[in-house]
Amino acid sequence: MSSSPKEIELKLEVPPQAQETLRKSPAPKGFTASRAVTKTLQSIYFDTADQALRRARISLRVRKVGQSWVQTAKIGTGVIGGMSSAVEAEHPVDGRAIDLTVIEDPQVLRHLVETINGAALAETFETLIKRTTRVLTAEDGSRIEVAFDVGDIKAGERSAPLAEVELELLEGASGNLYAAAQGLLEDTPFHFSPYSKAERGFRLAGGESSGADAPSLARKVELTASESVEHAFRSVLRSCLEQIAHNRMAVLTSDDPEGPHQLRVGLRRLRSAFRLFRPVLNPLTFRPLDASARTLAGKVGELRDLDVLASEIVAPLSDHAPQNLSLDPLLKHLTKTRVNCRNELIDYLQSTEINAFLFSLAAYTEGRGWLDAENFDQTTLLAAPISAFAREAQNKQWRKVAKHGSGIEEMSVPERHEMRKALKKLRYGIEFFGSLYPKAEVKPFLKRMKKLQDIFGYLNDVAMAEKLLDLPSAKGASASDTSLAMGFAIGWHEAQATQMWRHAKDYWTETKGAPKFWR
């Protein structure tokens, strides 16, 4: 066991223009703050030519503070949900060079020597930042150092700006990190940082994109059959949290329709995870998070529905409309309605309420918020291998899908919608647990599920076309043209749906008989 201390940090990216305000903000409620101290820090990071340290999740740097140099080795530099917990070994050195002989911890030294394996170390990149620190003290005595960092990362001719808030737990309960962050940021939008400074530097040096504000798909959940139910649930939650937090920022910084789509997917995945794992959870702690996710998903869904109406329901009909019918008035009306909807959503996404939801979800994820002190059987259930739990969870969801499908011949539009939702939840479960099974077995079934879901999704979009009638009434001379275009769009898609529904019934019959890989 290493004798070096373990550094527990919460890393947050914030807009550079927010840094000044945050630095001058008062101590968050429930905390007292020390006097602020500002320093300029120059850090030089080293690695071998083949990046052996990076691959081993090690960072090795020297940092100039004033006239002194400090060497730091961090073992385990990964960041998950903004949280990092690396083993850290710091020692004074004489200058801008690595000196492994000063490292006192024999395990850290041995790990470094084995990883470097005699290769030469060279400067890879550097950071130059202005850091303002304060120490926050909670009512229970917990102490947290808050660092406001603003500056640049430089790697050869490349450079990139850096604006972060880091909260390091000096002593006490880690839950205070989230409480302090929420109190500090209030309504300031943020990313849970996906990378350490070291990884940012490596990505910059290699010309790799950070994808900072681009809409993002969910990170794949990787599980092993012997892993516990609790560890698997945490991995699923981390994937959901990253997708939600990242795409919240994507919506705020870009008008790309994929942003609200992926944000809504992330929220739906989260809610599906709560339902799949409900047998082992404390209902009192996940229900408030589920309610917040439902509210946010509803607001995001309003914008997403308008995107679908415009791009998938109305716009594709331009080649099918009669010559005397123009869809332009309806598309312009949808665009105007969408602008108003997006502005309302942006206001909501920048609210204290959303920050509180994200920090609460992070604290729940990292602080084992699902534990129930009065449920004496819960520990046994959480410690069980995920393989058996996954099998039963997927069987249970399949039974729900099959129950809906048993009445497919007489299924009403609302019932089709319910089956579509059940299919989607099953697919999310397959994606959560898919790494437990051979890819060759999962892929064909998942492909079949996606096809069936797409058919039901189209039928749902057709039903949603009737939402055109719920739009605010168009004003002026184009009002009648807008109404005519609405009627045409609804009628055209309803005719297509009749044909598509025959495929849905046939495809369901085939899917029902397909082998279930999890059994």
Q: Are residues 273 and 355 in the same domain?
A: yes
**368 burial via Cβ count (<10 Å: 0-12, 13-18, 19+):** middle
Read off the tokens for 94. Answer: 């004489």
Q: What share of the chain is helix, strand, coil (3-state, %, to 5)?
A: 55, 20, 25
Side-chain-facing half-sphere of 504: CA atoms under 13 Å: 26
Task: Express each pLDDT in 300-332 by its tens digit.
Answer: 999 999 999 999 899 999 888 998 899 999 999
388 and 479 in a single domain? The answer is: yes
Contact between 271 and 289 (Cβ < 8 Å):
no
CA 253-259-262 angle, to 5 degrees, is 145
Alpha-carbon torsion 99, 101, 104, 108, what sign? positive
In this predicted structure, the answer to whether residue 490 has a pLDDT above a threshold of 60 is yes
Residue 324 C-alpha from the chain's centroid? 47
- Whether residue 353 has pLDDT greater than 80: yes
d(CA 161, CA 109): 32
CA distance 96 to 121: 12
Q: Which residue has the higher pLDDT, 19 or 247?
A: 247
Hey, what's the torsion of the CAs at 358, 363, 365, 369, to 10 degrees?
-120
* Domain match, 278 and 313 both: yes
User: Does the pLDDT value for residue 6 go beyond 70?
Assistant: no
Q: What is the pLDDT of residue 513?
A: 84
Compute the mean pLDDT over every residue in the chain, rounded to the nearest whole number. Answer: 91
Average pLDDT for 331-349: 95
Asked whether residue 379 falls in the same domain as residue 314, the answer is yes
Question: Within a domain: residue 214?
Answer: no
**Per-residue pLDDT at 214 exceeds 90:** no
Residue 398, in any domain of the structure: yes
**Domain count of the chain?**
2
Residue 515 is predicted with a pLDDT of: 87
Q: Please check whether residues 318 and 247 belong to one and the same domain.
A: yes
Number of neighbouring beta carbons within 10 Å of residue 517: 18
**How crowded is residue 182: how many other Cβ atoms within 10 Å of its Cβ?**
20
326 and 422 assigned to the same domain = yes
Residues 259, 136 within the same domain: no
pLDDT of residue 77: 67
Q: Determine the 3-state secondary structure of 36 from DSSP.
A: coil
Question: Is residue 116 located within the same domain as residue 162?
Answer: yes
Q: What's the chain's Rg over C-alpha atoms?
A: 27
pLDDT digits (tens, 9 = 90+) for 505-515: 788 888 888 88
CATH (domain of 437) = 1.40.20.10
Decide if 1 is inside a domain: no
What pLDDT digit, counting tens, does each position of 453-474 carry? 777 777 776 777 888 888 888 7
Per-residue pLDDT of 79-96, as tens digits, reads: 777 777 778 899 999 999
**Which residue among 144, 172, 205 closes a domain?**
205
pLDDT at position 1 over 50: no
Is residue 272 predicted with pLDDT exceeding 70?
Answer: yes
CATH of residue 35: 2.40.320.10
13 & 118 share domain: yes
Percent over 90 (pLDDT), the chain:
69
Same domain flag for 324 and 380: yes
| Whether the predicted pLDDT of 3 surpasses 60 | no
In the predicted model, is pLDDT for residue 500 greater than 50? yes
Question: Which pair of tokens denotes residue 17?
Answer: 């223009």
Mean pLDDT, range 65-78, rounded to an integer: 88
Joined together, the tokens standing for residue 123 give 């400067």
The pLDDT of residue 229 is above 50: yes
Beta strands per DSSP E along 172-302: 191-192
Per-residue model confidence as pLDDT tens digits over 382-406: 999 999 999 999 999 999 999 998 8
* Residue at 341 is within a domain: yes
- Answer whether residue 271 is part of any domain: yes
Q: Which of 173, 205, 237 is the last residue of a domain?
A: 205
Amino acid of residue 27: A
Structural domain boundaries enclosing 101? 6-205
pLDDT tens digits, one per residue of 176-213: 999 999 999 999 999 898 888 889 999 999 888 765 67
Same-domain status, 329 and 471: yes
Residue 403 sits in the same domain as residue 479: yes
The pLDDT value given to residue 450: 81
pLDDT in tens, 259-268: 999 999 999 9
Please report, for residues 62, 316, 363, the alpha-carbon distance to residue 84 in angstroms, rounded to integers and kept in the order given.
Answer: 20, 47, 14
Q: What is residue 456's predicted lDDT score, i.e. its pLDDT?
A: 77
Least confident of 11-20, 47-56, 161-170, 475-484: 475-484
Residue at 212 is within a domain: no
The reply to whether 337 falls in a domain is: yes
pLDDT greater than 80 at residue 108? yes
Task: Express each pLDDT in 425-435 by its tens digit.
Answer: 999 999 999 99
Question: Is position 215 within any domain?
Answer: no
